[in-house]
Amino acid sequence: NLSPRLAAVASFVPKGARLADIGSDHAYLPAHLLLKSHIDFAVVGEVAKGPLENARQELKRQRLLAATALRLADGLAAVTDDDQVDTVTIAGMGGILIRDILAAAKQRGQSFTTLILQPNTDEQVVREWLVQHVYQITHERIVQEDKHFYEIIVAKPGNQTLSAQDLVFGPFLRDEQSPAFKAKWQKEADRISLIFERLTAAGKTDTPAYQQWQARFQDIQEVLS
C-alpha cells in the first residue's frame, strides 16, 4: 500500500491517463495505479541507475513490466511524443529541481494536460514557475506524515494570477485551512520565533535578515488568523 503522501499524489491521476512518473525510484506509484487498473501504461523515468533498477525489480515482481517503459533519463527527457503521455507526476524532490525539470521540458517543446507535483521544499518556486508558464493550479492538498508536511500541487494549462501570499501558502490550501496546513505554518512560526530570539540576543534586530523573517512571520499570522 502507498504511503499517505504517495496515495494523495495517486488520487489526482485521472482514470485511463497515460502517465509519466519522473524520479520514480521503486515505481510504487505507477505500480499501484497499474495494479488497480486505474491506468494501463506508464513511463517510469529515473536519472540514476540504482533507482531505475529498483523500479525494474518492483515492476517485474508485480508482473507489470509489459505495461511500462523504463527510461534512464534526466527529467522529462524520459518521455517521447510516441508515448502520448498526458499526465506527469513528479514527487519527493526539491521544488527547485522540479522547476528545473519543468523548464527543460518546456524548452524541448513538451507540454502535458495534467501535472501532479509534490515538492519536498520550495513550493513557492514551483507555483511561481507554473503561473509564469501558463499553467493554472486546479487542486492542492497537504498531507502530514510523521513530522513532515507534504504539499501536492495539480496544474493544467491555463491562465491564473496569484498573489505573493498565494505563491507561498497555496491558493487552495490557505482557503481550506486544514489541520495539517495550520500545523505546518504554526511549526514554521515557532521556528521563526526562535530565530528572533537568537537575533535579538546577538543584537541583530536592525538587519535586513531580521526584517525578512518579520515579514514572513506576519504573513503567517495573517494567513492563520
- Provide the minimum distance between the beta carbon of 71 and ligand SAM in the complex, in angstroms, as a whole number: 9
How many residues bind ligand SAM (CB under 6 A)? The answer is: 17
Whichever of 47 and 224 has its CB closer to ligand SAM, that residue is 47
| CB nearer ligand SAM, residue 76 or residue 220 | 76
93 is a site residue for ligand SAM (CB under 6 A): yes
- Note whether 96 binds ligand SAM by CB under 6 A: no
Cell of 30: 505507477
**Inter-residue contact 30 to 6 (CB < 8 Å):** no
Task: Please report, to the nearest 10 degrees, the dihedral formed by the alpha carbons of residues 156, 158, 160, 164 taken in order.
Answer: 50
Interface with ligand SAM includes 24 (CB under 6 A)?
yes
By CB under 6 A, is residue 92 in contact with ligand SAM?
yes
Going by C-alpha positions, the residue among 11, 148, 2, 35 that lies closest to residue 89 is: 11
- From 33, 44, 91, 117, residue interacting with ligand SAM (rule: CB under 6 A): 91
The reply on whether position 22 binds ligand SAM by CB under 6 A is yes
Residue 95 makes contact with ligand SAM by CB under 6 A? no
In the complex, minimum distance from the CB of residue 74 to ligand SAM, in angstroms, rounded to a whole number: 5
Residue from 74, 145, 175, 176 in contact with ligand SAM (CB under 6 A): 74
| 30 vs 171 by CB, closer to ligand SAM | 30
Q: Smaller CB distance to ligand SAM: residue 22 or 173? A: 22
Q: Does residue 70 touch ligand SAM according to CB under 6 A? A: no
Phi (first) and psi of residue 66, to 5 degrees = -65, -25
CB of 101 to ligand SAM, least distance (A): 6
Measure the CA–CA gap between 22 and 40, rounded to whole angstroms: 17
Cell of 216: 514572513
CA dihedral 90, 93, 94, 96 (to 10 degrees): -40
75 binds ligand SAM (CB under 6 A): yes
Residue 25 touches ligand SAM, criterion: CB under 6 A? yes
Q: Shortest gap between Cβ of 125 and ligand SAM (angstroms)?
A: 15
Q: Which residues bind ligand SAM (CB under 6 A)?
A: 6, 22-25, 45-48, 51, 74-75, 91-93, 97, 101
